[in-house]
Amino acid sequence: MPVEAMKQNGVKPVVTTEVLPKAEVPVAKEIPTKKPITRLNQAMVTAWRLGLGRMMNRFPRQTGRILVLTTVGRKTGMDRRVPLTYAPLGGCVYVVAESAQCDWFQNLEVHPGCEVWLPEGYWEARAVPITDHRERLLRIREVLHNSGFAAERMAHIDPATITDEELREKSMDYRVVRIDLERRLRGATGPDDLVWLWPMIGLGFVAGLSLWKLATRPGHRHD
């Protein structure tokens, strides 16, 4: 009944102060960006493809010994590449995963066949997990020794001074993998497959420098 009609009929209108709930407005979720370490890994793989792998391994005490491991994605079946620090031993290399949740480690559990890029060439290989406690600890220390500044700055471990007991405690979640180098590979699909870009990069640099000099030359008119 309208308020005026209620007053004429002697009916006192009831005024409510109840606040109706506001309609929920959907909030757009923030799309997570790639982690900085992922972008760094991609940049390092690209550097290898540009033929810079040997240069990256020229100062192992500072920058570490770095290889590129190619695994087969356990879900996609596609090649996945990741740079890792390593310790060489005879016809194999050792690498360490921070945990069993690392993508490349999980890929190797499903598909142990892999490919390894090393400064001296690239190989078809097979991964074997190391479970013996003594060997595991020894290989972790060797890989950390070959990690350059990353061991102390990222893992907060000094492999030269840490005791076995401390290392065992800090590396409980680590996974050690031996990668057996089975067959040396050759061809255009290896670590130097983008070296053909260097002449184009050089020409682009020279052209840009020439244009800059022309634009900044004294007396050049900007009409």
pLDDT tens sequence across 13-68: 555 555 555 555 444 444 344 467 788 889 999 999 998 988 888 887 788 899 99
> What mean pLDDT do residues 132-156 have?
87
pLDDT for the residue numbered 29:
43
C-alpha dihedral, 69 to 72 to 78 to 83, nearest 10°: -20
What six digits make up the tokens of 42?
């991609």
The Cα 99–Cα 47 span in angstroms is 26
- Most confident listed range (11-15, 78-82, 153-157): 78-82
All domains of the chain in start order, with CATH: 53-187 (2.30.110.10)
What rounded mean pLDDT belongs to the chain? 82
Instruction: Kindly list the distances between the CA atom of residue 114 and the CA atoms of 36, 57, 105, 192, in Å, as whole numbers in the listed order.
Output: 25, 21, 11, 18
Which has the higher per-residue pLDDT, 222 or 176? 176
The answer on pLDDT for 4 being more than 80 is no
Predicted TM-score (pTM) above 0.95: no
* Polymer length of the chain: 223
Number of H helices, E strands in the chain: 9, 7
Predicted confidence band at 148 (pLDDT cuts at 50, 70, 90)? confident
Do residues 187 and 115 make contact, with C-beta atoms less than 8 angstroms apart?
A: no
Do residues 68 and 150 make contact, with C-beta atoms less than 8 angstroms apart?
A: no
